[in-house]
Amino acid sequence: MDAGNLLNLKNQALAVISEAETKKELSELKVKFLGRKGEVNQLLKNLSDLDPDQKAQTGRLLNEAKTAITQALRQKTLKLSPAPRDWLDVTAPGKTFPSGHLHPITQAIEEVSRIFERLGFTRVRYPEVDWDWYVFEALNMPEDHPARDEWETIFIDAEENKKMGKMVLTTHTSNGQVREMERAGKTLPGKTPIRMLNIGKCYRRQQDRTHTVMFHQFEGLVVDRHIGIPDLKGTLNHFAREFYGPKARSRIRPFNFRFTEPSFEVDFSCVHCLGRGCRFCKSGWHEVGGAGLVHPNVLKAGGLNPKVYSGFAFGWGIERCYTLKPGLNLDDIRLLYSSNLEFLNQF
Amino acid sequence: MNISIPHSWLKEYLKTSAGSEKIGELLSLCGPSVEKIRSVAGDAIYDIEVTTNRVDMMSVLGIAREAAAILPQFGFKAAFLPPKLDPISPPQTPLPLTVKDPNGLCPRILAVVLDQVSLGPSPQKIKSRLEAAGLRSLNNVVDVTNYVMTEVGHPTHVFDYDRVSSHSLLLRKAKPGEKITSLEDKTYALPGGDIVIDDGSGEIIDLPGIIGTANSVVTPDTKRIIFFLEANNPVKIRRTSMTLGIRTVAATLNEKGVDPELGSTALKRGVMLLKELTGAKVASKIFDLYPQKPTIQTIKLPLQLIKDRLGVDISGRKVKQILENLGFFFSIDKNEQLSVKPASFRTKDIAIPEDIVEEVARIYGYHKLPSKLPLTQIPTNYPDENFHLEYRLKNILADSGLNEIYTNSMVSRALTSQSGFSINNHLKIKNALSADWQYLRRSLIPSHLEAIGQNPQAKSVSFFELANTYQLRPGKLPEEKLTLLLSTTNDFRYLKGVVDLTLQKLHLAPTFKPQNAVKTPWLDGHTAAIILKNQTLGCLGQVLTPEGFPHKQVNVALFDFRALSQASRAYPAYQPLSPHPPIIEDLTFTLPEKTYLGPVIAAIASCHRLVKAVALTKTYRQNYTFNVTYQSPTQPLTDKAVAPVRKKIVVSLKQKFSADLVGNLR
């Protein structure tokens, strides 16, 4: 037996298989070539007569031929099989599986976290019930300052701490700023690069279509040497594109917060009209919240030297950012906290 | 604070080629935010949000000055037109008046008497401008005070000269409990320490800077008036105004620190208008108690700081132009060190180099600054949190058919009583917005009962939530315990299945220990502790539902998230795959009543190393069928090899649980 014989056998087999017209023919061919006394096995028998070198090579070719014939037989069989006769309603509903839903706030928080994670921001969690010091005083807002009016603060009926002041429900996630500076001072002494993302529950005495007494904010804080307005603008633009789509842009306008200097109001371009102005946005822009360069007094309160370090911070409502998503059309955020199944099942 | 200003009024002090739309847009980009432009009787009315630090802009003049600095940056010609003020000449025989502030309570006081006042309505122009600014027109005298305040930004006041019969104004501090009756006829008891004006007899005749009192303000019979202005201590004004709840426009301006330098402009402008509108004549000398002009600090900073923060190589000349347009004094030395002295009306908000950075940046234009991602080092000092696991866990639960909810951390008194914790163990809110939100919760269970109850028509409701509970710690912040709660109207086995699945995915195999004598809201005998290596991860069971609850039962599973997070594993300990086929068989046992199945299954599983898996497949009365898989990693199993294992199981179950095998041992 030589390789030529083998190749002939294989080609002959493939040819007759492709010409077969019935399944019966195919099963006969299967016996003829691959059966116990089939032609392939006949050749195998002769294998023992060969010297070892040839034996190995021929053995391999033989196996290849066997595989090719088996494959051809299978394919041809499939081809000759008639389509299933029984009628199947492919439009009938599928089997029902349990289907719960992540709350939209969780979905938004996850999306925000991922966007900033890619920029190297570390997510943290700080107290929801905190001292006046972290919520206001350390943020350059002395007691009785008119700037505090805007926060609609909820106070806890608890003894005042001599150093830290009253106990309050955090009105914003900015209480994380000085806390993060303190943490960085402890964990990375003398280095203090900060890229913080603080997401948490906040509370204010307000409840209407666009405010809920409990809500969520996310706070970004970056502190290092030579941080300036361009770093903030770049970060805001990145978020706008990632959260609202590649065409979204951000802009900053002057504002005043005690804990940033300069301070900004942040707008994102309207996703409906791309900034031209339409019935959703009026001006082409949506105001989402505040930002600014960290005030030197805040850096000092966090134990950092403002002559060496600078930074930026921003803090916005998760609800506000989320409801601006194009096509969501959610205009009453109280629903988010209603535990209404009909609402939740949509997300 | 929002102010409304008509375009026509603004144009009296601003010369520009820009129209109202453009002015609104550009102010918003570089200065105060113009939120809306209304059109009233052919005039455009700007609705402007002015931030609390810019009391100097809460006026027509302030906005005009700001616009004059901003518009040229966009190629519009613009100039601020300062008011033209007539000098005041006192009469030859002045009417008597004394004004005293012996304790220096006000930085500046200005007063002048006018007579021959003829009270009447104001002209239409004044009326409609005041109305556009959100102020009510009363009569020409009162209107002048409001007009001057809106135009100049300095509150002013008018007394009836004859009703202050002593012709004497004495500034003093109020004693606690002293009473005043405001011009709106409301009586207030003063907290004490408030700055008041006394007529010399001990009677209070004004609460300066906040509101006039009924006993001294103008009446329809007024003929002679004292036109009075004072600069105030902003902290004191705020304290009195907030304590009494009197939030007049004057008070909201004064608590922000109005520039005393503005006083003379306001006085002169007021006198001009009083003459013009009421025919009044100046009848006294001008009192100007101004013991000390405020000093203005010079701020020094390197030009490099501005370049650094802006990310732009801005020239000293450009900075000079911007700052001078804002009324600041500017010099630069050869080392590019800047010395900047703000205008008097900006001393309150311009105090540090960063304030100068802001002024330059905003007028230069934030939109013109570059945008880049921070190039600094990325910190890796991660906190001890596992947000990834939180999200994964939530996904497992949602995929198992539960809906995530966010319920309020603040609860009503009624909900605290369902928590199993005494009301004294809750943090109480001092200024609750509603009775629904009076306490910080100790438990999520009452909140979920409420949430489930709010879905009465649903056939079944299954919720979960990951949120804090707040544990009181005297003298300290509360402990915020991150808690995971699963709740369902389905039966216990449903929930147990969800819990089993969830824990499996975290590669945990805890035991469930029946709990008796549990506290509310848990039901005795229907509750199990979830225990892993002597540590309690949580609790699972049926809870009490309130009266009239729309669902038959509620089962909950409660986890201490931190404990769960610490115990959880991201991957299993891999068990080698056996090349040998297993032997699988069913064994049915009759168990005595009230036998806990958990320990039975555990006993079978731990009986012999060949037992690879045990599952409960069927129950019929007291008969329980367990599907047992035997497998060896090293050899093919024969029935002969399995027989002694089987026997051991049967013996062990008999011993431990008095369980009888149904059928015979093979």
Segment B432-445 mean pLDDT? 96
CB-CB under 8 Å, A253 with B28: yes
Q: What is the pLDDT of residues A30-78, one digit of tens each?
A: 888 888 888 888 877 777 777 878 877 887 888 888 888 888 888 888 8
Q: Comparing A145 with A128, which gets the higher pLDDT?
A: A128
Q: Where are the domains of chain B?
A: 2-80, 98-289, 299-366, 387-567, 583-661
Measured in degrees and rounded to the nearest 5, phi and psi for residue B577 equal -80, 135
Q: What is the pLDDT of residues B153-197, one digit of tens each?
A: 999 999 999 999 999 999 999 999 999 999 999 999 999 999 999
Q: Comparing B134 with A281, which gets the higher pLDDT?
A: B134
Q: What is the pLDDT of residues B458-485, one digit of tens each?
A: 999 999 999 999 999 999 999 999 999 9
Q: Does A335 contact chain B (CB < 8 Å)?
A: no
Segment B110-115 mean pLDDT? 97
Segment B241-252 mean pLDDT? 94
pLDDT surpasses 60 at B549: yes
The C-alpha atoms of residue B548 and residue B103 are separated, in whole angstroms, by 68
For CA atoms A144, A148, A150, A154, the dihedral sign is negative
The C-alpha atoms of residue A101 and residue B138 are separated, in whole angstroms, by 60
The per-residue pLDDT for A2 is 63
Question: Which amino acid does the sequence have at B76?
Answer: F
Looking at domain B387-567, its CATH architecture is 2-Layer Sandwich (3.30)
The SS3 of residue A70 is: helix
Segment B545-574 mean pLDDT? 95
* Straight-line distance from the first to the last Cα atom of chain A, in angstroms, rounded to the nearest whole number: 71
pLDDT surpasses 90 at A274: no
Measured between beta carbons, which residues in chain B are less than 8 angstroms from residue A207?
433-434
pLDDT surpasses 60 at B240: yes
* Pair type for strands B623-630 and B583-590: antiparallel
Q: Does A274 contact chain B (CB < 8 Å)?
A: no
Measured between beta carbons, which residues in chain A are less than 8 angstroms from residue B385?
123-125
The per-residue pLDDT for B507 is 96
Segment A279-308 mean pLDDT? 92
Q: Express as a percent the part of chain B with pLDDT over 70.
A: 100
The per-residue pLDDT for B664 is 84
The per-residue pLDDT for B343 is 93
Q: What is the pLDDT of residues B484-523, one digit of tens each?
A: 999 999 999 999 999 999 999 999 999 999 998 788 899 9
The mean of the pLDDT values for chain A is 90
pLDDT surpasses 80 at A228: yes
Among B311, B373, B407, select the one facing A235 at the smallest CB separation: B373
Q: What is the pLDDT of residues B277-290, one digit of tens each?
A: 999 999 999 999 99
The SS3 of residue B126 is: helix
What tokens does A299 get?
Answer: 């850096």
Q: Does A185 contact chain B (CB < 8 Å)?
A: no
CA distance B51 to chain A (A): 6
Segment B356-378 mean pLDDT? 95
Among residues B217, B209, B226, which one has the least CA distance to residue B287?
A: B226
Among residues B2, B76, B8, B1, which one has the least CA distance to residue B45?
A: B8
Among residues B405, B130, B93, B416, which one has the least CA distance to residue B249?
A: B130
ipTM: 0.89
The per-residue pLDDT for A26 is 85
DSSP B94: P
Comparing A15-24, A116-125, A261-270, B595-604, the range with the smallest average pLDDT is A15-24
CB-CB under 8 Å, A100 with B401: yes
Comparing A91-100, A310-319, B350-359, the range with the smallest average pLDDT is A91-100
Burial of residue A330 (CB within 10 Å: 0-12, 13-18, 19+) is middle
Measured between beta carbons, which residues in chain B are less than 8 angstroms from residue A103?
403-406
CB-CB under 8 Å, B377 with A193: yes
- Considering only alpha carbons, which residue of chain B is nearest residue A238? B373
Comparing A93-107, A244-258, A265-279, B411-425, the range with the smallest average pLDDT is A265-279
CB-CB under 8 Å, B403 with A187: no
Residue B257 makes CB contacts below 8 A (sequence gap 6+) with: B55, B234, B348
Among residues A254, A182, A195, which one has the least CA distance to residue A224?
A: A195
* CATH class of residue range B98-289: alpha beta
Among residues B575, B571, B572, which one has the least CA distance to residue B633?
A: B575
Segment B613-618 mean pLDDT? 95
The C-alpha atoms of residue A26 and residue A203 are separated, in whole angstroms, by 77
DSSP B62-83: HHHHHHHHHGGGGT--EEE-PP
Tell me how many degrees the CA angle A295-A301-A306 measures, rounded to the nearest 5: 50
What tokens does A66 get?
Answer: 């066997």
pLDDT band with cut points at 50, 70 and 90 for residue A153: very high
For CA atoms B637, B643, B644, B648, the dihedral sign is positive
* Straight-line distance from the first to the last Cα atom of chain B, in angstroms, rounded to the nearest whole number: 90
Among residues B484, B447, B462, which one has the least CA distance to residue B554?
A: B462
CATH of A104-344, one of 1.20.1250.20, 3.40.640.10, 3.30.930.10, 2.10.210.10: 3.30.930.10
- The yes/no answer on whether domain B299-366 falls in CATH 3.30.56.10 is yes
What tokens does B274 get?
Answer: 């009083």
pLDDT surpasses 80 at A173: yes
What tokens does B384 get?
Answer: 């001890």
pLDDT surpasses 90 at B98: yes
Among A105, A129, A228, select the one facing B470 at the smallest CB separation: A129
Q: Does A209 contact chain B (CB < 8 Å)?
A: no
Are B270 and B141 in contact, with CB atoms under 8 Å apart? no
CB-CB under 8 Å, A195 with B454: no
The per-residue pLDDT for A318 is 97
Residue A306 makes CB contacts below 8 A (sequence gap 6+) with: A296, A297, A299, A300
* Pair type for strands B168-173 and B98-100: parallel
pLDDT surpasses 80 at B43: yes
The mean of the pLDDT values for chain B is 95
The C-alpha atoms of residue A222 and residue B140 are separated, in whole angstroms, by 55
CB-CB under 8 Å, A195 with B378: yes
The per-residue pLDDT for A32 is 87
Are A314 and A289 in contact, with CB atoms under 8 Å apart? yes
Count of CB atoms within 10 A of residue B332's CB?
A: 16
pLDDT band with cut points at 50, 70 and 90 for residue A1: low
- The yes/no answer on whether domain B583-661 falls in CATH 3.30.70.380 is yes
- The third-level CATH classification (topology) of the domain covering B2-80 is Phenylalanyl-tRNA Synthetase; Chain B, domain 1 (3.30.56)
The SS3 of residue B453 is: helix
Q: How far lies B461's CA from each of B496, B498, B553, in Å?
A: 15, 14, 11
A117 annotated to bind ligand: no
pLDDT surpasses 80 at B227: yes
Find the radius of gyration of the CA atoms of chain A: 36
Tell me how many degrees the CA angle B71-B72-B76 measures, rounded to the nearest 5: 75
* Pair type for strands A194-203 and A122-124: parallel
Q: Does A78 contact chain B (CB < 8 Å)?
A: no
Q: Around B374, how many Cα atoms within 13 Å sit in the side-chain half-sphere?
A: 32
Segment A211-221 mean pLDDT? 97
Q: Where are the domains of chain A?
A: 3-80, 104-344
Measured between beta carbons, which residues in chain A are less than 8 angstroms from residue B29?
253
Q: Express as a percent the part of chain A with pLDDT over 70.
A: 99
Measured between beta carbons, which residues in chain A are less than 8 angstroms from residue B354?
261-262, 293, 295-296
